[in-house]
A and B are shown apart, each in its own frame.
Chain A
Amino acid sequence: MLERFLQAVRTDDPGAEAPAATRDRLKACFAPGAVRRMTQLGLLVGGVLRDLAPGPDDTLVYATQFGESRALEGFLESFPTPSPTLFQTSIHPSGVQQGLIGRQQAVPELFPLAGGPQLVAQAVLAALLAPAPRVVLCGGEERGTWLVAPGAASDRAFAFALALTRHREAGTQGRLALEPTADPAGTLALADWFDLLHAHRGYTGHVAPGWRLQLEWS
Chain B
Amino acid sequence: MAGLVESGSVRLTACDCLTPFGNAAATHAALLRGERALRPTPVLGADGGDAVPLALLPGRALDETLPPAWLPALQALLAPLAGGGWGTARRPVCVTSSNFGIGSLYAFHRHGDAAQAAHGTPHTAVELLRRTLGWGENVAVFSHACVSAHLGLLHASRLVAAGAAESVLVLAYDFLSPFVTGGFHALKILNAELPAPYQDRATGSIGLGDGAGFAVLSPTGGDLVLSAQSLHNEMHHFTANRPDGAGFAAVLAPVVAAAAGRRLWLKGHGTGTLEAGRLESTALARAFPGAPLVSWKGSLGHTLGSCGLVELAVAAAALRTGRTPGTVGSGSPTFTDTVALAPFATPDFAGVVCASNAFGGAHGALLLSHA
Contact = CB atoms under 8 A, between A and B. Distances in A.
Interface string A88-114: 110111100100110111111111111
A131 interface: yes
A92 B233 contact: no
B122 A115 contact: yes
A129 interface: yes
Contact of A104 (B2, B141, B235, B250): B235
Contacts, number: 188
Contacts of B162: 2, 129
Given A111-B155, A150-B114, A208 B238 contact: no
A161 B158 CA distance: 23
A91 B186 CA distance: 14
B235 A107 contact: yes
Contacts of A111: 142, 144, 151, 155
Interface stretch (B71-79, B102-110, B196-204, B339-347): B102-110
Contact of B3 (A72, A92, A97, A109): A109
A113 B238 CA distance: 19
Contacts of A93: 143-144, 360
Contacts of B4: 108-109, 131-132
B182 interface: yes
Contacts of A194: none
Contacts of A125: 140, 159, 164
A53 to B, nearest CB: 10
B1 A180 contact: no
Contact of A211 (B89, B143, B362): B89
B145 A92 contact: yes
Contacts of B233: 100, 106-110
Contact of A116 (B2, B127, B144, B183): B127
A91 B286 CA distance: 32
Given A65-B121, A113-B141, A101 B360 contact: yes
Given A79-B44, A92-B122, A108-B233, A122 B141 contact: yes
A127 B87 CA distance: 20
Contact of B140 (A82, A100, A118): A118
A72 B250 CA distance: 32
B235 A105 contact: yes
B182 A79 contact: yes
A132 B106 CA distance: 39
Contact of B138 (A79, A119, A129, A210): A210
B121 A152 contact: yes
B44 A129 contact: no
B1 A108 contact: yes
Contacts of B33: none
A82 B182 contact: yes
B187 interface: yes
B105 A76 contact: yes
Nearest to B189: A84
A80 interface: yes
A83 B186 contact: yes
Contacts of B114: 150
A198 to B, nearest CB: 23
Interface string A170-195: 00000000001000110000000000
A72 B117 CA distance: 13
A71 B3 CA distance: 30
Interface string B21-32: 000000000000
A106 B137 contact: no
Given A79-B44, A110-B231, A57 B186 contact: no
B54 to A, nearest CB: 16
Contacts of A117: 137
A209 interface: yes
B142 A130 contact: no
Interface centre among A103, A106, A113 (most CB of B within 10 A): A106
B88 A88 contact: no
A65 B89 CA distance: 21
Contacts of B263: none
Contact of B143 (A76, A112, A185): A112
Contacts of B144: 92-93, 110-112
A210 B158 contact: no
Interface of B: 1-4, 44, 47, 49, 87-90, 98, 100, 105-106, 108-110, 114, 117-118, 120-124, 126-127, 136-145, 151, 155, 158-159, 162, 164, 178-179, 182-188, 231-239, 247, 250, 359-360, 362
The 3 closest A-B pairs by CB, nearest first: A210-B89, A87-B183, A114-B122
Interface of A: 2, 56-57, 59, 65-66, 72, 75-77, 79-84, 87-89, 91-94, 97, 100-101, 103-119, 122, 125-126, 129-132, 147, 150-152, 180, 184-185, 208-211
Given A105-B235, A112-B144, A122-B141, 5 more contacts: A79-B109, A79-B178, A82-B185, A93-B143, A110-B144
